[in-house]
Amino acid sequence: MRASKAALQRMLARARFVSGYGLKLVSVSDAECTVAMPFRRSLERPGGTVNGPAFMAAADCAMWLAIKRHIGLEHDAVTAELNTAFLNAARRETVYCTARVLKLGKRVIYGTAECHDRRGKLFTHHTVTYSRLA
């Protein structure tokens, strides 16, 4: 059973592993999932840019929610691999991250995520592999 946006929002609100990032679910469909990460001073690195681990957390969370949309809340999958390309800096602004599931296999799930501003300027590109738990 596909997870609804409301169910995913409730799950995200209870997820302690991303609670420090302030992530909010913006949109979800069968094609993609977008989260917003509002700027917080705790995410700023020297030089005034958003730190790399924050981008990776947003990408991983967006993919997790996109996968849950497809496999349901009662099933789980975990990150097996996350590769990140840093393309541009984000400075004191909300970062959006959009994840897309490209292959939903029986054991392995593969997708991409991109962190961007509200106009679409790319900050990072991620490839993400998840493993389903038995």
Q: What is the pLDDT of residue 31?
A: 93
pLDDT in tens, 56-71: 999 999 999 999 999 9
pLDDT in tens, 7-50: 999 999 999 999 999 999 999 999 999 999 999 999 999 989 99
User: What is the CATH number for 58?
Assistant: 3.10.129.10
In this predicted structure, the answer to whether residue 134 has a pLDDT above a threshold of 80 is no
Distances (CA, A) of 17 to 33, 64, 120: 18, 12, 27
Distance CA 8, CA 106 (A): 22
Domain tally for the chain? 1
Helix (H, G, I), strand (E, B) or coil at 39: coil
β pairing state of 77-86 and 95-104:
unpaired
pLDDT in tens, 68-84: 999 999 999 999 999 99
Half-sphere exposure of 92 (CA within 13 A, CB side): 3
Residue-range definition of the domain harbouring residue 53: 5-132
Q: Taking all residues of the chain, what is their mean pLDDT, rounded to a whole number?
A: 96
In this predicted structure, the answer to whether residue 1 has a pLDDT above a threshold of 90 is no
Cβ–Cβ contacts within 10 Å for residue 111, how many?
A: 22
Token pair of 125, please? 């590109």
Q: What is the pLDDT of residue 59?
A: 98
Q: Are 34 and 115 in contact (CB under 8 A)?
A: no
